[in-house]
Amino acid sequence: MLTPLLEGLRDSAVVNLGSAVTMVVDDSPFSLELTMQSLLGFGIQTRWPCHSAPEAMDILKEHAIDLLIVDVEMPGVDGMELVHWLRRSGLDPNAFVPIIMTGAHVRKDKVAKVRDSGANFLLTKPFSATSLLERIVWAARDSRPFLEVGDYFGPDRRFRSIKPPDGVERRADKIKLAQMEAARAAKAPEAGGPS
């Protein structure tokens, strides 16, 4: 039997990543190399390794890419500014490319800013190769429409789940509602019986 993580990735067998034109932007040479090696393990050759956002911007103006992985915090123009610029650039198809942002020590307020920049996902460093692959496959299958609302342009920030997630419910309001419904059902007379 597969673990829940591997079960979710099982459907990813139909995603061909070998020909993906990928750009990785990270000011840390170590993190850049680590991300590129993780991608190589999946058969993804990083075509455009960049050490800064301005370097990436120059390439994005001239070349189409299929996937962008960018560090949140970089000196000068940071990852969020790069993503915001790209989404608003009008560069077709690059403005619509799946974007995975990476960052260490990302606080809750930073997560909201990453989301609001137009990124598809945030992956916290250090990340495992499995986590990276999971986010890439998820981004490849992401069917959320792009929206333009005020200063925001990017994938719909709301995730809609058609079926509830597997496992034990942990949200207090949903647990209380289920308990109340069960108590109400237990008190109600059985259908067809005397009332």
Rounded-to-5 percentages of helix, strand, coil across the chain: 45, 15, 40
Please name each of the domains of the chain with its CATH number.
15-155 (3.40.50.2300)
Nearest-CA neighbor of 21 among 58, 59, 60, 48?
Answer: 48
What pairs with residue 123 in β-bridges? 102
pLDDT by residue for the chain (195 residues), tens digit each? 444 444 555 554 566 777 889 999 999 999 999 999 999 998 899 999 999 999 999 999 999 999 999 999 999 999 999 999 999 999 999 999 999 999 988 788 888 888 888 898 899 998 999 999 999 988 887 778 788 888 788 887 765 554 555 667 666 776 777 888 888 888 876 555 554
- The model scores a pTM over 0.85: no
Cβ neighbors of 147 (< 8 A, separation 6 or more) are: 153, 154, 155, 156, 157
d(CA 192, CA 2): 45
Residue 187 CB neighbours (<10 A): 7
Q: Is the dihedral of CA 100, 20, 129, 10 positive or negative?
A: positive
Angle between helices 79-88 and 53-62 (to 10 degrees): 20
Q: What is the CA radius of gyration of the chain?
A: 21
Angle between helices 129-141 and 29-41 (to 10 degrees): 70
